[in-house]
Amino acid sequence: MSNIQTTTQTSVQSSGSISVRASTVPLKPTGALDKYEHVDLTPVIGREYPNVQLTDLLNAENADELIRELAIIVSQRNVVFFRNQDIDIEKQKLLGNKLGILSGRPQNSGLHIHPTTQPTSELGLEISVITSKNPKKKEYESELDISRFASREWHSDITFEPVPSDFAILKVHTLPEVGGDTVWASGYEAYDRLSPALAKHLEGLTALHDARQFKIYAKHIGITLNDGPRGNPENIGTSLQTIHPVIRTNPVTGWKALFVNKNFTRRILELTKDESDATLDYLHRLVTENHDLQVRFRWNKNDVAIWANSASFHNVTRDYGDEFREGNRVVSLGERPYFDPTSKSRREALGLKRWSDL
Piece in contact with Fe ion (CB under 5 A), picked from 67-75, 84-92, 139-147, 156-164: 156-164
Identify which of residues 157 and 189 has a Cβ nearer to Fe ion in the complex.
157
Quote the DSSP letter at residue 232: S
CB of 28 to Fe ion, least distance (A): 29
What distance in Å separates the CA atoms of residue 57 and residue 92, rounded to the nearest whole number?
12
Nearest in space to 4 (alpha carbons), one of 208, 165, 145, 230: 208
Q: Residue 39 in contact with residue 82, Cβ under 8 Å?
A: no
CB of 329 to Fe ion, least distance (A): 8
CB of 211 to Fe ion, least distance (A): 12
157 binds Fe ion (CB under 5 A): yes
Q: Is 234 in the site for Fe ion (CB under 5 A)?
A: no
User: Cβ 155 to Fe ion, closest distance in Å?
Assistant: 6
Binding to Fe ion in span 305-344, by CB under 5 A = none
Residue 161 touches Fe ion, criterion: CB under 5 A: no
Identify whether the C-beta of residue 310 lies closer than 8 Å to the C-beta of residue 24. no
User: Smallest distance, Å, CB 258 to Fe ion?
Assistant: 17
Residues 268-287 touching Fe ion, rule: CB under 5 A, are none
Cα separation, 270 vs 208, whole angstroms: 10
Q: How far apart are CA 20 and CA 17, in angstroms?
A: 7
Q: What share of the chain is helix, strand, coil (3-state, %, to 5)?
A: 30, 20, 50
Query: What is the C-alpha to C-alpha distance for residues 17 and 15, in angstroms, rounded to an integer?
Result: 7
The interface region with Fe ion, picked from 17-25, 117-125, 153-161, 349-357 by CB under 5 A, is 153-161
The window from 72-80, 111-119, 152-160, 320-328 that contacts Fe ion (CB under 5 A) reads 152-160
Residue with smaller CB distance to Fe ion, 157 or 161: 157
Nearest-approach distance from CB 157 to Fe ion, in angstroms: 4
> Contacts with Fe ion: how many residues (CB under 5 A)?
1
Q: Output the DSSP codes for 252-302.
A: TT-BEEE---TTTEEEETTS-HHHHHHHHHHHHHHHHS-GGGEEEE---TT
Residues that bind Fe ion (CB under 5 A): 157
